Amino acid sequence: MNIILLGPPGAGKGTQARKLVDERNMVQLSTGDMLRAARTSGTEMGKKVAAVMDRGDLVTDEIVIGLIREQLESDQGGGGYIFDGFPRTLAQADALGRLLVDMGENLDCVIEMQVDDDALVARITARATCGDCGEVYNDLTKPIPADQKCTNCGSSNFQRRADDNEDSLRTRLLAYYKQTSPLIGYYYAKGDLKSVNGLASMDDVADSISEALA
Ligand code: AMP
């Protein structure tokens, strides 16, 4: 099964993708994580996208489609792919459709995670991640443990993203509404879209996603 998690920054796509990886042996393909990894390892591409990402704008279709193509060609399919933060433009959606057809694969479902903008600002500015295993924390709903050790892997390498601040978030939201939200209509028209309430608790959102995939 191949699915897309679609929603604005802070909707909980990464958190739900990680649950699906654990529970269904699926492979998470997050273009945001791939781009951050390219920056950390200091590749030419990583240097090129750094300022764009920090500002909150989208990097070029060519770069992200190339990253996804590489991953799909390395064929780690298992229980299928979760596309997290990709596609974000109509050109990316078309490219993904073609890549899947070339592999003889289908897109089974697009899950739209609905949240309101005020909740996003609160969530994002409170967000932290374990730099070693990717476990997501939030100062309001799931604070970093008092012993400063990740509940999942025991690491103390907690990180906050450079673009998780109000200025970048405003640009990221604008990019979402201008460039990404048209995908809701695109996938609705194709009959692939299911919407869930992304403001419910993490477990309730996971249950809604399971129902949508049943
Ligand atoms: P994310 O971790 O998904 O919130 O992505 C962080 C940043 O990486 C975004 O604000 C963009 O600058 C860039 N990015 C991630 N995925 C894409 C994509 N599919 N298309 C364009 N830019 C992307």
- pLDDT of residue 63 exceeding 80, the answer is yes
Closest atom of ligand 1 to CA, residue 89: 20
Contact present, 184 and 200 (Cβ < 8 Å)? no
Q: Which residues, listed in sequence order, are joined to residue 37 by a DSSP beta bridge?
A: none
- Cα–Cα distance between 146 and 75 in angstroms, integer? 40
| Residues 48/105, Cβ–Cβ less than 8 Å | no
- Cα of 84 vs centre of ligand 1, distance in Å, is 10
- Read off the pLDDT band of 69 (50, 70, 90): very high
Query: What is the set of active-site residues?
Result: 13, 88, 127, 160, 172
Q: Which of 49, 59, 99 to mutate to test the pocket of ligand 1 (most atoms within 8 A of CB)?
A: 59
pLDDT at 192 over 80: yes
Amino acid residing at 133: C
* CA 175 to ligand 1 center in whole angstroms: 10
- CA–CA distance, 138 with 31 (Å, rounded to integer): 22
Nearest CA to ligand 1 atom 15: 32
Cβ 35 under 6 angstroms from ligand 1: yes
pLDDT score of 78 more than 80: no
pLDDT-derived band at 3 (thresholds 50, 70, 90) equals very high
